[in-house]
Structure 1
């Protein structure tokens, strides 16, 4: 009985070891930690936005174009709206757009990549040609065309951003599946008569998540930039929604007379992109076996 208890404890320790190794490597990686702190900070201020400011993001006042002060930390815009409030609430929109777009592109791209890589043949040819067509156009131009067809709005912008990022995850998943499906344990599962669905979701997919997770973190930063670009062109969030790209577009006429109207939304975009890029680079280094030397 004592021997069985020791074996069980050793098994639990072995199962926990990968998670502990990951956390140990993560905490030692400065870029990953800094990126995580920035992201958690942005998520926190997005959640408690109503507590941080006494103003409504769409509330107008007579304090037009005031420079930063004790009453208005980031100043006010041409309509007297508090810029600090609008930047804080803008974090909600940008984070939601990035989350929706990345999750959507991961789900659709990974599913198509799984089918193409595992089954091959005409399925692989058709899906790969779809990826090639989407990649033939610059991403932002394709997003502009889609939003123009669907109509301006934050929801259509999220859909467009998700679609243009599908090939990135699809091709990454396909290449991983092509490599993993030749492994001995997958070939053994096929020889035992295991169904394709079980092989895909129990043997192949769990071993493909590492590059997808790293790319998803980096794509989050790209999605924020693309959402800001669409907002800057008037195709994203519509007034009075406090989206950072829209705020930059509205502040263009006042870049010399009231530069604070452009500086703070721009810094918010830079901080968000920096946080996700640092986290993505950190995860890439942690999961890369060549970096463990």
Structure 2
């Protein structure tokens, strides 16, 4: 009897070296971008921050007025010519707010960057080496945190003298303990991990362990806290400017503008409303952005 040759079904097998799409490792950058744009607060906050960054960069193009030049239109109400009105010297308030964004963003960035560098370094040393280094640095942080931050900033500026640069230094100093304690707690957790213990077991130097193993695993909470502290720095520089300890006239700093306009609250309320709204929106933008980054990087939120 003749039987038919039955051929086995042909299956499409992947070629050697080919990796299926499901087996490909996730790209952390792409995962972050997707999570970021899915987080509504982070997107709204980044848009608000981006608006003020654009205003700061394109200030000479956006407005035709000089923020220091007075005019005869003192305390003019908002109009098509002066969108936000004018102050008691006839200066365009919109122009001064746009140029004031440069001061607020610059002071916030430089002061928080300095706080991150100094605070992270101290926290790194305290958390990794412990013993007397940890005791000394931790007690220093405790002493600084015992004072209200704005009062400590006022005391520092009072010793250094009024001025924007001294206000920047004061804001940087009062934020050092925040980043120092955060870095210390993170280092205490990371240095107990197996990969750090293995690096010690093979005789790796402490400096290499710190810079190549511990520090890269501690930056996420520092970055999130830096974004939130940026908002606090904007408020602090405005508070120092309002008290006459920050930027000095004719610099268009928002807190200084509020201080100059407080005598005209009933006569020309727009002189205080618009600088106050600028501070509020900037702080809101950085807070929303910081909260969004915290939720994105927090493993407990990745459900």
Give the TM-score band, short-chain normalised.
over 0.9
Structure 2 counterpart of 1:120, from 110, 117, 130:
130
- Measured in 2, the distance between the counterparts of 1:256 and 1:122 equals 58
Please report how far the alpha carbon of residue 289 of structure 1 lies from its aligned counterpart in structure 2 after TM superposition.
Answer: 1.0
TM-score by length of 1: 0.96
2:114 counterpart of 1:74:
no
2:219 counterpart of 1:214:
no
- Measured in 2, the distance between the counterparts of 1:18 and 1:64 equals 55
- Measured in 2, the distance between the counterparts of 1:10 and 1:193 equals 39
Q: Give the match's secondary structure for 2:43.
A: helix
Count of matched residue positions in the alignment of Structure 1 and Structure 2: 288
Structure 1 counterpart of 2:175, from 130, 143, 165:
165
Correspondence 1:252-271 to 2 at 5 A: 252-271=262-281
Correspondence 1:3-82 to 2 at 5 A: 3=16, 6=18, 14=25, 17-82=27-92
Structure 2 partner of 1:196:
206
Structure 2 counterpart of 1:251, from 241, 256, 261:
261
Structure 2 partner of 1:273:
283
Which sections of structure 1, spanning at least 5 residues, go unmatched?
none
Which sections of structure 2, spanning at least 5 residues, go unmatched?
1-14
Q: Deviations over 1:52-89 (max 9, x none)?
A: 11111001101111000111110001101010000000
Q: Give the match's secondary structure for 1:251.
A: helix
Correspondence 1:124-163 to 2 at 5 A: 124-163=134-173
Q: Deviations over 1:32-69 (max 9, x none)?
A: 00001111111001000001111110011011110001
Larger Rg: 2
- Measured in 1, the distance between the counterparts of 2:280 and 2:124 equals 34
Please report how far the alpha carbon of residue 3 of structure 1 lies from its aligned counterpart in structure 2 after TM superposition.
Answer: 4.9
- Measured in 2, the distance between the counterparts of 1:85 and 1:44 equals 14
Please report how far the alpha carbon of residue 278 of structure 1 lies from its aligned counterpart in structure 2 after TM superposition.
Answer: 0.2
Structure 1 partner of 2:251:
241
Q: List 4+ stretches of structure 1 deviating above 6 A.
A: none
